[in-house]
Structure 1
Amino acid sequence: MSKVFEVKARRRDRVGKSSSRKARAEGWVPAELYGFDIQENHHLLLPRREVEPLLRGDSWSTQVLSISMEGEGEPLMALIKEVQRHPLTGELLHLDLYHLVRGHLVTVEVPVHLVGKEICPGLKLGGVLEQFLHEIEVECDPRLIPDEIKVDISKLGIEDVVYVKDLELPEGVKATEEPDAVVLVIAAPRVEEEAAPAAAAVSAAEVPTVAEQKREARASKEEE
């Protein structure tokens, strides 16, 4: 299960570009909290120093936040659904948060983590790892969201394939992807493609150039 991170937030009194810029300058990140049980989105401000570390790596989409606001009772549980950054500077601009309700299933993309690459027989024989799915969409209770989905490739040979239906998921977690969708394959080494240029080079070396053909023709006439 994903770890729950506690974050202290405050409500936004004003919305708009100017107020958002001011909030970011003061160290806050504007955020929208929404969910099936929320009629009107909550406009929030989250401290950047607490949020930024959670966005490092590939597993931020599985991070569960416990958002507390002073004087408002129990914390709100939420998932980070979207992260907006400045395209040039990378500055964190905005977050979309989805409100979690215990007992209500949620859909989330969980990163795939490969184990056993260093001892994979297929790779040792020159096979090529081709991974088609780097995240798997799953459905589960918010309390059961996994940090990652491990795929053991330590025994895979050349041309072995791992499908979504082959994944070992925790109890209570169901993949929503097509069961026959390919996660990865150990493809055969491209020996023929590499050998073809070499063969072409040998054939070219065996064919005399135009200059060589002319010299041979002159030598033949002189002998006559």
Structure 2
Amino acid sequence: MKSIEVKGSLRTETGKKATHELRKNDSIPCVLYGSQKDENGNIIDTHFAVTNEAVRKLVYTPHIYVVDLNIDGKIVNAVMKDIQFHPVTDKILHIDFYQIDESNPIVMEVPVQLEGLAEGVKAGGKLSLQMRKLKVKALYNVIPERLVINVSNLGLGKTIKVGELSYEGLELLNAKDAVVCAVKLTRAARGAQANAGK
């Protein structure tokens, strides 16, 4: 996976008023989970803020990144866990990050990339990608930038489901019977099939 640096600053106040002020100043409130522990071993979440500009490349991209979070000079490796947008303006309201632990698997959504020319497309069908991303669980250093699916042998009216896919070191968390891609019958393909049957 590619990495990207995001600079942020610790927040001293975390109430509604402080959050409103942050957003007014073009900043985004964020939380980093799993970053610190207190003397009893309990995990403390880190509250910090970033500018819209600092996360633009991370948010508005089809790629997935490991984030080198630079919070007041302290570097932490993390992944973006969740993001909230305003329902009307689409402005970013909040981002959750999760610190990477090299010994524990993480859950991420990875883009799907179809490869090859499907048999069904050659026969006049149309290839349809139903799931653009799949949810995987794995150690972060084995998570690929995209999940490649070869569709060369996919015939007319046929599908590829999550349960048919397998990637080394990755556990796919989507429903096994969920359709990832399909070759749909077009009107022309139906006509060709009908003529072939005569």
The TM-score normalised by the length of structure 1 is 0.71
Cα RMSD of the aligned pairs, angstroms, is 2.7
Give the secondary-structure state (helix, strand or coil) at the position aligned to 1:22: helix
Contact 2:28–2:95 under 8 Å retained in 1: yes
Larger radius of gyration: 1
Q: How many pairs are equivalent?
A: 186
Identity %: 28
- The structure-2 alpha-carbon separation of the partners of 1:112 and 1:172, relative to structure 1 and needing over 3 Å to count, comes to same
SS of the residue corresponding to residue 20 of structure 1 reads helix
- Structure 2 residue runs of 5 or longer lacking an equivalent are 38-42, 192-198
Larger proportion of strand: 2
Map 1:1-224 → 2, pairs under 5 A:
2-35=1-34, 39-59=43-63, 62-70=64-72, 72=74, 75-116=75-116, 119-167=117-165, 169=167, 171-179=168-176, 181-190=178-187
Q: Is the helix fraction higher in 1 or 2?
A: 1
Deviation, 1:163, is 2.9
Q: The residue matched to 2:44 in structure 1 has which SS?
A: coil
Residue deviations 1:80-132 (CA, integer Å, cap 9, x gap) = 1111111121111110111211111112121212233xx43312423233444
> What letter matches 1:83 in structure 2?
I
CA displacement 1:131-155 (0-9 Å, x = unmatched): 4433222111112222211222244
Partner amino acid for 2:25? E
Q: Deviations over 1:61-92 (max 9, x none)?
A: x32211122354xx211111111111121111
